[in-house]
Amino acid sequence: MASARERIDLPPQIAACLFDLDGVLTKTAVVHAHAWKQMFDEFLQKRAEEKGEEFRPFDIKTDYNEYVDGKPRYDGVRDFLASRGIELPHGEEDDPPAAETVCGLGNRKNDLVLELIERDGVEAYEGSVRFVRLCGEAGLHRAVVSSSANTKSVLKVVGIEDLFEAVIDGVVTEERHLNGKPAPDTYLAGAEAVGVEPSAAAVFEDAVSGVESGRAGNFGHVVGVDRVDHAEALRQHGADVVVKDLAELIR
C-alpha cells in the first residue's frame, strides 16, 4: 500500500505546502469578487453622474482577475482605479467606508465581504481539505498565506484552522510591513514560519498575482488552481502545473 507521501503528486524535495485561502481552500473568491464589484460600481456610478460621464461597470471576469485578485485590499483599490485613470488620496486605515479615499473604498469592500459571509456563510473545497489532511499525514508542513485580514475567522468558520501550523494574513502583512503579492514577501514569511527554505516549499494559488509571487520567491513548485477558466494565464505567469482542484494531486 502506498504511503501518504507517495500518494501526493508533488516533487520529492517538497517539505512544506503554502496555501492561498480564497479560491484555493475556501469558496470565498466569489464572495470577494462580488464585494469588489458592488463597491466599485457604486463608486463609479456616483462619479459618472457627478462628472457627466458614461458609467462603465467593474467587470468581474477581467478587472477582478487583472487588478485586485490576491492583492492586499488597498493595493487592489489603487491598481484598479489607476486602470481607469482615477487617482484618489490614500487616506488612513481607519477611514470610514463612505470616505472617497483608497482606504475608505477598501474598508467599504471589507464590510461588504463580512456582510456576505455572515448572510450566506462560506464553505471549504472538499478536495482541498482532503489534500491538506493527506499532507499532514505525510508529515509535510502546512501554512496559509493570504492577503485577507479575515483569514483566521474564515478558517474557523469552515472548521479547518487546526490543519495549519502557521497563518500569514493581511494582519501579519501590515504588522511586519511586508509587500503584498505579487511580491514574494508573504510566501517567504510562510516558509520561514514552518522552518523550510523556499526551494523546499510548494505554493498553491488561484490568482495570477499569487503565482507571480511564488515564482518571484524561487519556490520549489508553484501550483496554479484554476477556478475561473484562466489556466493559460496562470501558466504564463509562473505556474509549474495547473489543476482544477487539489484532489487532482492525490494519486
Which residue in 9, 22, 59, 245 is the catalytic one? 22
- Active-site annotation holds for 22: yes
Q: Which three three-digit cell numbers place residue 66? A: 487583472
Dist CA 26 CA 126 (whole Å): 9
One-letter amino acid for residue 120 of the chain:
D
For residue 73, count CB atoms less than 10 angstroms from its CB and return exposed for 0-12, middle for 13-18, buried for 19 or more. buried
Which residue in 20, 75, 95, 185 is the catalytic one? 20
**Cβ within 8 Å of residue 133, ≥6 positions away:** 163
Edge-to-edge strand ranges of the sheet holding 201-205? 166-168, 141-145, 16-19, 201-205, 221-225, 241-243
Q: Are 36 and 171 in contact (CB under 8 A)?
A: no
- Active-site annotation holds for 240: no
Mind telling me the catalytic residues? 20, 22
